Structure 1
């Protein structure tokens, strides 16, 4: 296994980058081949470089990288091409017999693939792994953005089946999982799903903090669906002003992201409205690449995005990130905030807009109002009870009337019963009002971020760093 200095020298020669010690240690663990690896490092810290370093030490070796987003896969291939390394991204469009023949003939040293193509039953990868000459050249299988295994496994089930690759390999190769946001629960889940070898598991944890990002929480002052609170992003822009700072706004629903984009466009003159776009999974890969380049080149100012734009996207100068609504997990929130100022020389702002009922001070006001309502209701009940008592005393004083006048006739009684039955049937025919309003549960750590001051934290970062055990980072 090459020394630290040897790996560093080769990396400088090929990639023009000087790898950190943690990246080199991961490389050496991969080359040893007798351990699986969990690597945690902050967004923009350089996890991807550790994928390519082993190639420098194994001239015929192959790295397989599993990525959640097609646009991210192509980005990796383009980066490698600049360094003179042949790679291919396999998606539904590129999963052809010719491409798999080229892979089998060792034309490519890096294969980037989404989980659906990797785990396709009877697909090209199943055939490749059964070929000893190919399997022997695989240095490692890398699961990038591994938090998706837990978060997306329910609607991308292939993520939950990647561990079965072990059964296709004559000799298990190293499997490496990487992310900036792995909680203890996610790590436990990943170990089980991927069948990671527990004996001697190599664990690398670097700091996930991003000190150049200012964290801000703002209550929504206007109705959520109005999006008026997002108007600050355009800063009352007029044509004689410089463009507003580059921004991304993240949503948990596609329709909401489009509605927000349409609102922001109304704040601009017609000829400038295309400076604000929306970006989601329903758009073509070609469109996504084009819009990403436009944002990078300052041709557009901001995107209303879902997770289709996010993990691993390497834009250095996005100055403002907004999460619209406290509806996501802490892992998703920190991933999205991590798109902000990936250039460490810049300083940016990440803003969480939350519904007012998630704020402790508002909750307390709500409790006080509820207590006042209960007190008033109790007084009303007491008054009504006293009135009934007084009425009963008055009735005792009334002389008994003749039984004939007291009783309803038989016909009247029967008529009363029939009307009662009809009323009951009519009640059953009416549509019942649902009392179960669908409402997402607020992530406990996101709750602490929102209410840091009320819950005794001196900084909003503390609950985030605690959740990801950042104090254990080496």
Structure 2
């Protein structure tokens, strides 16, 4: 009932089990569930039962942190997304702190000071690592992810670590648990199916050279002009930013000059504010397609894209495809 009053939803049994485990604090928690199933609610439910409690959520993208802070503000829970601009001691008074691994594990940073303060750690309910598969997938180019292995040595035994993801394969889960020193006898796993019956997988044979991007031409109907029905929305995923930019430019060349802004590239090099604006245009239909990278898959889960989205993949690794399917695209 408290959840319904605060968040406007009735939690499911599995969400209550996750929250109960975090509040007990005697075991780490593994939570696997498909995107949109409600993992994020599990992060915040414990705050309803610990009025002085703090939840710390580690997120891979600043944009996700900002989205979480905004949604919590609507529920009248004081939250802040900590980044390089907001990492000040004054901002550790919030009840929900969303932070990147870089800020959390920064040597001699404000977090390090706070985590050594018993008055602060006594209020921490748990530390949640969202999109936990990133620990292994992104650890090579974001080394702070691997530094998270120190958490169990820094934190008191009373603070559990929770990992959450829609795509924890058996091998990935094993690697993550080993990295974070999560022992089976002190870990509880709560699994909710990530099956997506609305997804259909199709394969198109490549007929042209990859760097021509000509195999993507079907996304824009031949001869399309202003006044014709709008093309269906689409997302094209690439392994690198330059390929995404080149593909978007190719598709834009198939549109009348005044309509070329319907197709854009979207990547991590853009500012958070700019990405929010661009995403909003896709949601309302002003934009029809993005050429993007894997990071959009995580951003997408926090927004409502009711239209059917046509997913095509360009040179996408196997684990990325599984990620996108788990995210319900």
SS at match of 2:131: coil
Q: Is the 8 A contact 1:150 1:189 kept in 2?
A: yes
- 1:150, CA displacement in angstroms? 0.8
Q: Closer, same or farther in 2 for the Cα pair 1:210/1:293, shift >3 Å?
A: same
Q: Could you tell me which of 293, 306, 314 is aligned with 1:317?
A: 306
Kept in 1: contact 2:34–2:327 (CA 8 A): no
More helix by share: 1
SS in 2 for 1:139: strand
Give the TM-score normalised by structure 1: 0.66
For 1:356-395, list aligned pairs within 5 A: none
Whether 1:334 and 2:322 are equivalent positions in the alignment is yes
Cα offsets for 1:179-206 (capped at 9, x unmatched): 1111111111111111114324110111
Do structure 1's residue 15 and structure 2's residue 10 form an aligned pair? no
Q: Secondary structure at the match of 1:256?
A: helix
Separation in structure 1 between the aligned mates of residue 31 and residue 295 of structure 2, nearest angstrom: 23
Residue 149 (structure 1) aligns with: 135
TM-score normalized with structure 2 length: 0.94
Point out which structure has higher relative CO (alpha carbons under 8 A, 6+ apart): 2
**Which of 32, 56, 70 lines up with 1:64 in the alignment?**
56
Task: Kindly name which structure, 1 or 2, has the bigger radius of gyration based on alpha carbons.
Answer: 1
Aligned residues of 2:196 and 2:328 also touching (Cα < 8 A): no
Equivalent of residue 274 in structure 1, options 257, 261, 264: 261
Gap regions ≥5 residues in structure 1: 1-8, 342-474
SS in 2 for 1:122: coil
> For the residues of structure 2 that align with 1:170 and 1:309, how far apart are their CA atoms?
35
- Residue correspondences, number: 326
Match of 1:222 among 208, 211, 220: 208
CA RMSD of superposed structures (Å): 1.6
Alignment deviations for residues 372-406 of structure 1 (CA, whole Å, 9 cap, x no partner): xxxxxxxxxxxxxxxxxxxxxxxxxxxxxxxxxxx
Higher mean C-alpha deviation, range 158-167 or range 139-148: 158-167
Aligned position for 1:238? 225
Structure 1 contact 115–162 (Cα < 8 Å) conserved = yes
Which aligned runs of 4 or more in structure 1 are off by greater than 3 angstroms? 337-341
Residue of structure 1 in register with 2:105 after alignment? 119
How far is the alpha carbon of 1:280 from its aligned partner? 1.2
SS in 2 for 1:311: helix
How far is 1:33 from its partner? 0.6
The DSSP-based 3-state class of the residue aligned with 1:244 is coil
Report the equivalent of 2:234: 247
Greater displacement, 86-95 / 113-122: 86-95
